[in-house]
Structure 1
Amino acid sequence: MTMRRNLMRATAAAALAFTLAPVVHAQDVIKIGEINSYKAQPAFLEPYKKGMELAVDEINASGGVLGKKVQLIIRDDNANPGDAVRAAEELVSREKVDVLTGSFLSHIGLALTDFAKQKKFFFLAGEPLTDKIVWQNGNRYTYRLRPSTYMQVSMMVPEAAALKKKRWALVYPNYEYGQSAVATFKQLLKAAQPDVEFVAEQAPPLGKVDSGSVVQALADAKPDAIFNVLFGADLSKFVREGNTRGLFQGREVVSLLTGEPEYMDPLKDEAPNGWIVTGYPWYGIQTPEHKAFQTAYQAKFNDYPRLGSIVGYSAIKSLAEGMKKAGSTDTEKLVAAFKGLQVPTPFGRITYRPEDNQSTMGGYVGRTKNEGGKGVMVDYRYVDGSKVQPSNDEVKKMRPAD
């Protein structure tokens, strides 16, 4: 009888140890749930993932955050807002992640922004550019790292206005990001140059550009200059067809994102000359913080960084800094800690503005050059994000009260 009781006690103790072990283990790890369009947008998101991995390695090698190791749990959203929300539900309820981050496409970023609001769960949007994430659809639980559409267009409008071109044609992917980029460009350029005319618009579906008809329609309008928002494979098709048909000859082109190596490198010897672009001239940035990042990245991956690498790396570093400041992974404490949070990044120190939860990360503006069969950026300058953000009063008019 005594032996049986001892056996039962031992069995019960073993069972208790088994049930407690995962809990104790989970308490030693901070879980970051990350959702992104890896299959749909690999050019940007494969380097983005590497940037995140480098940041996690550095954080864990230095002792982790709050005495705990950081762990990434990644899900693909299939470039579908519904799938993104389902992934978020699973990460929060089943994986018990402490925070959410990620998203690339703007409509998916908006879906996750709404999820964060409904579930009262912290979400750091890394890449999606639509202004609605921090303005019209903004909420206290959502912060955003990358310079917004408004900010990036604002960086380029002084250059566009200086061209003194009257007739502009517009081409953009027909979804939230493209629509908002063009709306902002029209608004800001008209304010800077009241006599400007917009003589043509082409808005093909994302990933389905009919480059021949788009280029022909733009050429038929006889514009003096073109504002382009196409990226990725759509950009490659547009540039190829435009080169073939002479669309860009004698015309200025202002083009969002085109200077990013993710989109410039695939163009190879078709890379355009003289376009005004936003981008990332990694090969020429000599600041100490960027050189340290580039050296570490190349040592780990035997590859050069892309802009995605910067964004992924800086997103994880931001979360770590926020958790340290909060002293916790509790959502409400993180929300408070991110207000005015300063984070060192490869582009220098950034601040998350209390007014709209948008970071002050900036970007590079310059011109493209086809150099030996490869596109690079020349005559570039870094524009501090804080210099191209609307005032507090303007933000209050656009953003709902938290």
Structure 2
Amino acid sequence: MAFQNLLQGSSSVMIPRPHRPGRKRLFPVIIALTLSLFFPGLLGADLVKIAILIPREEPGLEGGPAYLRGAELAVAEVNSNEGKQGAQFLLFLKGGAFHQPASLNSLRDLFFEQRPQFLLGALQKEAILPVSRLAYEHRAPFLVFPVDFMEAASTGEEPPNLFWISPTPESYQRAAVRAIAQSPGQKLYLLAQGSPMGRNWVKYFWEEMGRLKPEAQRLGETFIPSPVDDFTPYIRNILATHAEVCLSHLGVKDWLRFYRAAQGQGYFRKVNHFELEMGNLESLLSMKKKVPEGIGGVSAFPFWGLTQKETRQFVGKYRKNTGVYPSLAALSGYVSVYAIFHTIKKTGTSAAEKTLSALEGLSFPTPVGPMTIRKSDHRAMWPIWYGSTQNKSEYPFPVLGDLKAMGPDSFSP
């Protein structure tokens, strides 16, 4: 399949809300005329059309803009570098709250008018299932990054076109268990969200700790509501137990509230603390440069500690284009586009019946090393690292140091 030159380095086209048949379609016609004037031959080109979905900005939601920037960077690279071999991608952007009927109808219009072969998105967990079902009606592979990925577990109800390009919640949990099992403290306390997933996580932790560290003492656990305005009572309760180690899964926003309250009570001088999401870039950027050393956390993209050329190149290009450091969402957008590219390269076509099967079990290079999409549940086998805070770094935020890598094989069922 031949792919001709597209936009010569431009990576995205902003598409307005599509119109159903019978409505005026002036704006798309203007776009087409403009492209034909400035890029002769484009409209007759054989293109790979990719629609990318970004949630509208809402309080508590992160990741959409970074995901888009990462995807745009990858598309620009494909079109300028790989384009010499023929592959050319056209990216369509659509925003909305895709668990709501109006946004889903608008997405149906997009499929009707633009006929994208692939769908990407950084979405809330509530939107993933309805969007994947809609995309499956058009046999389009859907590669998704859940913006709340720590709460977005597979349900078994997903259609076969859905592929998860994110770390699994289980990988974070297992990394935390192994980190605590290797720590010197024996007296353990847990803080977790009061959701069903939070309760399952606590159950799993104590079961695994009994196997990996049978001498550990279970001092207790607290399930907290979210959000919590004042963590002071919870912190006093932990200190009263004389816990040596406290493991929490609070999420980025609640963790920052806990951290500020704990700092004021000298908590980190008395307790070794480990927060699952503390190693995410959003958490690190929100903490001051000078933090207590030794707070543990997990990261799926600790670029500051990765020395391979591919990592450095991605971070450098992303910073040059955006002026900020890339988050996990940015990496997922970038990786998702390259998953599509390597699928087409493997099959020689963008036809859905071939690409859907080729994505299952696909192995391809990424800035964090080779990645495989697991055939059994369509999950990307994403590597994980854990470590503890260090102040001495070249970055304007604290980082996780003393990193220990846990390859994706560690989390296979």
TM-score, normalised to structure 2, is: 0.76
- 1:132–1:302 Cα change, 3 Å: closer
Q: Equivalent residues in 2 for 1:266-345 (5 A)?
A: 266-269=286-289, 271-279=291-299, 280-345=301-366
- 1:150–1:52 Cα change, 3 Å: same
Q: Could you tell me how far 1:275 is from its partner in structure 2?
A: 1.8
Q: Is the partner of 2:270 in helix, strand or coil?
A: coil
Counterpart-to-counterpart distance in 2, 1:45 and 1:333: 29
Partner residue of 1:389? Answer: 412
Q: Is the partner of 1:271 in helix, strand or coil?
A: coil
- 1:198–1:99 Cα change, 3 Å: farther
Are 1:360 and 2:381 counterparts? yes
Are 1:248 and 2:271 counterparts? no
Are 1:191 and 2:211 counterparts? yes
Counterpart-to-counterpart distance in 2, 1:116 and 1:231: 30
Residues 185 and 245, structure 2, Cα contact 8 Å, conserved in 1: yes
Residue 49 of structure 1, aligned match among 56, 65, 68: 68
Residues 245 and 272, structure 2, Cα contact 8 Å, conserved in 1: yes
Counterpart-to-counterpart distance in 2, 1:388 and 1:201: 27
Residues 31 and 96, structure 1, Cα contact 8 Å, conserved in 2: no
RMSD of aligned alpha carbons? 3.5
Partner residue of 1:143? Answer: 163
Counterpart-to-counterpart distance in 2, 1:147 and 1:293: 19
Q: Could you tell me how far 1:149 is from its partner in structure 2?
A: 0.9
The amino acid that maps onto 1:49 is L
- 1:258–1:115 Cα change, 3 Å: farther
- 1:83–1:220 Cα change, 3 Å: farther
Partner residue of 2:144? Answer: 125
Partner residue of 1:101? Answer: 120
- 1:190–1:101 Cα change, 3 Å: farther
Q: Could you tell me how far 1:222 is from its partner in structure 2?
A: 4.6
Q: Is the partner of 2:277 in helix, strand or coil?
A: strand
The amino acid that maps onto 2:314 is F
Partner residue of 1:74? Answer: 94
Counterpart-to-counterpart distance in 2, 1:386 and 1:159: 17
Counterpart-to-counterpart distance in 1, 2:291 and 2:329: 20
Residues 48 and 350, structure 2, Cα contact 8 Å, conserved in 1: no
Q: Is the partner of 1:258 in helix, strand or coil?
A: coil
- 1:248–1:318 Cα change, 3 Å: same
| Cα-to-partner distance string for 1:225-244 (whole Å, 9 max, x where unaligned) | 22222233322111001111
The amino acid that maps onto 2:363 is Q
Structure 2 portions without partners, runs of 5+: 1-28, 34-41
- 1:59–1:38 Cα change, 3 Å: farther
Counterpart-to-counterpart distance in 2, 1:246 and 1:211: 14
Partner residue of 1:259? Answer: 279
Question: After alignment, is 196-205 or 212-221 more displaced?
Answer: 212-221
Residues 78 and 88, structure 2, Cα contact 8 Å, conserved in 1: no
Structure 1 portions without partners, runs of 5+: 1-17, 391-402
| Cα-to-partner distance string for 1:218-273 (whole Å, 9 max, x where unaligned) | 44555332222223332211100111123333222222121122211211146342
Q: Could you tell me how far 1:383 is from its partner in structure 2?
A: 2.0
- 1:75–1:172 Cα change, 3 Å: farther
Residues 271 and 370, structure 1, Cα contact 8 Å, conserved in 2: yes
Residues 143 and 164, structure 2, Cα contact 8 Å, conserved in 1: yes
Counterpart-to-counterpart distance in 2, 1:198 and 1:138: 39
| Cα-to-partner distance string for 1:310-367 (whole Å, 9 max, x where unaligned) | 2221122112222333433333322201122112110011111222211222122111
User: Identity, % of aligned pairs?
Assistant: 20
| Cα-to-partner distance string for 1:92-148 (whole Å, 9 max, x where unaligned) | 345533222223544444554565567754221224535874464454221112220
